């Protein structure tokens, strides 16, 4: 059966009339903050104490928006007769958010957990040059980083914890065995 002429128009007008009669819901954004998902991507925060200046984040960034400067510092020997060590010291860590595409690669490749997502998204500037956040400003964002979600109680134990537990149990068993051998030797004497 062929469609009735004008039925499409009638359906469209029916949808329009239904929508017109519903109350509109407008988010009053500046006055009412939006409910964000727990781990939403806003701005990147820097936990400077964990940064070893390995440069992985800057190398892996597809936009090349991370700038890192460092210098080497000599650390005196910890024990007498030991050798001096050199370590990298962070001089500058900056992210240009006018270039950043918020892909999260820098956060994923950081082996020392120095970079984190913060849910803060209100950091607009009138001058584009002010969107380059230096390490002091990146450190301020760390206070807004939420706690990681709790582990699922039914999940497997992480490999690192299992390996550490096995090592601790082996050391404890070895110490107990040594203590038992010492008691036996003292009992023979």
Band (pLDDT 50/70/90 cuts) for residue 80 is confident
Same structural domain for residues 132 and 181?
A: no
Same structural domain for residues 135 and 84?
A: yes
Any known ligand binding at 65? no
Does residue 10 form part of some domain?
A: no
Number of folded domains in the chain?
2
Same structural domain for residues 62 and 99?
A: yes
Mean pLDDT of the chain: 89
Token code pair at residue 121: 């998204």
The Cα 170–Cα 39 span in angstroms is 39
CB contact at 8 A, 107 and 44: yes
Does residue 55 form part of some domain?
A: yes
Percent of the chain whose pLDDT exceeds 90: 52
Domain that holds residue 162: 157-189
Residue 6 has pLDDT above 80, yes or no: yes
Residue 73 has pLDDT above 80, yes or no: yes
Q: How far is CA 82 from CA 77, 89, 114, in A?
A: 5, 21, 30
Does residue 13 form part of some domain?
A: no
Q: What is the pLDDT of residue 176?
A: 92
Same structural domain for residues 42 and 72?
A: yes
Q: What is the pLDDT of residue 163?
A: 85
Same structural domain for residues 38 and 99?
A: yes
Same structural domain for residues 51 and 140?
A: yes
Q: What is the pLDDT of residue 64?
A: 96
Residue 138 has pLDDT above 90, yes or no: yes
Same structural domain for residues 140 and 167?
A: no
Same structural domain for residues 131 and 161?
A: no
Same structural domain for residues 139 and 61?
A: yes
Does residue 4 form part of some domain?
A: no
Token code pair at residue 132: 């380059």
Same structural domain for residues 67 and 124?
A: yes
Q: What is the pLDDT of residue 1?
A: 66
Same structural domain for residues 37 and 127?
A: yes
CB count within 10 Å of CB 4 equals: 8
Does residue 186 form part of some domain?
A: yes
Q: What is the pLDDT of residue 187?
A: 76
Same structural domain for residues 169 and 112?
A: no
Residue 157 has pLDDT above 90, yes or no: no
Does residue 149 form part of some domain?
A: no
CB contact at 8 A, 94 and 64: no
Residues in the chain: 189
Please tell me the pTM assigned to this model: 0.66
Report pLDDT digits (tens) over 89-127: 999 999 999 999 999 999 999 999 999 999 888 888 999
* Contact residues for 41 (Cβ-Cβ < 8 A; gap 6+): 102, 104, 117, 119
Percent of the chain whose pLDDT exceeds 70: 99
For tokens 């030991």, name the residue: 82
The closest alpha carbon to 29, from 117, 102, 125, 121, belongs to 121
> In CATH, what number is assigned to the domain containing residue 71?
3.30.70.3270
Residue 34 has pLDDT above 90, yes or no: no
Report pLDDT digits (tens) over 38-71: 778 899 999 999 999 999 999 999 999 999 999 9
């Amino acid at each position: 059966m062929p469609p009735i002429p004008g039925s499409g128009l009638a359906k469209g007008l029916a949808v329009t009339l239904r929508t017109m009669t519903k109350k509109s819901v407008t988010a009053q954004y500046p006055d009412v903050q939006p409910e964000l998902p727990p781990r939403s991507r806003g701005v990147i925060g820097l936990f400077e104490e964990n940064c070893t200046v390995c440069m992985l984040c800057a190398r892996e960034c597809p936009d090349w928006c991370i700038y890192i400067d460092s210098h080497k510092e000599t650390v005196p020997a910890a024990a007498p007769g030991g050798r001096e060590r050199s370590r990298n010291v962070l001089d500058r860590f900056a992210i240009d958010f006018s270039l950043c595409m918020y892909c999260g690669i820098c956060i994923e490749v950081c082996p020392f957990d120095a970079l984190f997502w913060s849910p803060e998204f209100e950091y607009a500037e009138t001058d584009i040059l002010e969107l380059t956040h230096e390490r002091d400003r990146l450190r301020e964002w760390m206070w807004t980083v939420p706690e990681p979600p709790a582990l699922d109680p039914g999940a497997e134990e992480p490999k690192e914890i299992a390996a550490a537990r096995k090592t601790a149990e082996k050391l404890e068993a070895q110490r107990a065995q040594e203590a038992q051998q010492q008691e036996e030797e003292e009992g023979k004497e």
